[in-house]
Structure 1
């Protein structure tokens, strides 16, 4: 793979006068696990859900259809399970360091997820991240219904989220960075000025400017070129 272009038209090292926007996937990127699988473990459907997740992340099946199929297995789970899963979430090594350094530089960070706002929003708040977009689980009578509300945040939804965040922050698309691991991240990776495949599936690695494995704060070295 060729060396990635640095964000911005000139390719120069970012300066204090220029702001970058970094948009990250959540499941298996910012955090180590897949939240839908963590929920499925409480429903006894983890094996089936994991298989569907893997196929969706490899781009073998439609993401929206896969999400509906996986969430359907969660029907009847008490809403209190969400609290348990929030406690189970683990940040990827280097994730906190990356976010803290970006914040120190005054560069906005956003999370966009095919997972669930009920997990993503508290996680973002704990890291002082202002922008999020994710699916929302439907709840009735204190239990998950097995459905999501509103439009599914799929590949195009993630791409649109990146555009919306850039517009809100006044950042040119050339100065955006997208980080993700699965096929549903391809849309935002294609839009961003710099695309990073992190611990990613082969399909995603082939379409990103650069591929990284291991610690998430390795991204900082790319931004300083």
Structure 2
């Protein structure tokens, strides 16, 4: 088995799910969430410092999550489906490891045929209102994605692991993955561009890099 692990937001899809959830609450909330998200993704503040704070500001309902899940699918990276189909045919098993929200990612993952999502589940009350999130989910903190990859390696014993993503939390996986590929189509973050072994602006560019 060979694992190809994808971030979701700004990688498999053009959107940042947290930003789009915020947009549904109005421009003022959106601007604050966008600021916090970029600060975390650029490595200026620890992810865990902003994770719960952003959700408390947004209070995302189950209805909001459904809307953004559809948007995530609508804004899919243009070459994602064909690329993942080719990778799977070449013996790679795709997995999503994301600091985004499980329920938002699920429609996109289903379309791509990706069965496993390691992300952050949201909780809802019976009326669909926001009731919190899984605070134990590893991607809610810096160093969380390497923890997930270490767990996957122990569980699946792959012969090779490649990570693809746009953010600092993805870059952190370099010590666990055999290769890290920076993705710059939607967000070319300076630290990722400078420190990634390789960068691509389209997912289809990954295939020749894997040999």
TM-score by length of 1: 0.83
Find 2:153's aligned residue among 141, 150, 166. Answer: 166
State the shift of 1:95 in Å. Answer: 1.2
Moved more, 196-205 or 151-160: 151-160
CA RMSD after TM alignment: 1.6
- 1:125-147 Cα offsets, whole Å, 9 max, x none, are 221112211112221232114x3
Among candidates 136, 141, 144, match of residue 121 of structure 2 = 136
Contact 1:24 1:111 in 2 (8 A): yes
In structure 1, C-alpha distance between the alignment counterparts of 2:196 and 2:61, rounded to whole Å:
39
Q: Is the 8 A contact 1:23 1:176 kept in 2?
A: yes
Matching residue within 177, 201, 205 for 2:189: 201
Contact 2:7 2:165 in 1 (8 A): yes
Q: Tell me: CA distance 1:86–1:216, structure 2 relative to 1, closer, same or farther (3 Å).
A: same
1:151, distance to aligned residue in structure 2 (A):
1.8
Q: Does 1:46 align with 2:30?
A: yes
Higher relative contact order (CA 8 A, sep 6+): 1
Retained in 1: the 8 A contact 2:171–2:180? no
TM-score (norm. length: structure 2): 0.88
**Alignment of 1:70 onto 2:54:** yes
| Equivalent residues of 2:69, 2:106 under 8 A apart | no
CA distance in 1, matches of 2:19, 2:93: 29
Distance of aligned partners of 1:56 and 1:194 in 2 relative to their CA distance in 1, 3 Å threshold: same
- What is the aligned partner in structure 1 of residue 71 from structure 2? 88
User: After the TM superposition, which segments of 4 or more aligned residues of structure 1 sit over 6 Å from their partners?
Assistant: none
- 5+ residue gaps, structure 1, are 1-18
Distance 1:31 1:84, change over 3 A: same
Distance (whole Å) between structure 2 residues aligned to residue 129 and residue 68 of structure 1? 27
C-alpha displacement of 1:189: 2.8
1:210 equivalent to 2:198? Answer yes
**Alignment: residue pair count:** 201
Consecutive unaligned residues of structure 2, counting only runs of 5 or more, are none
Q: What CA distance in whole angstroms lies between the structure 2 residues aligned with 1:107 and 1:66?
A: 34
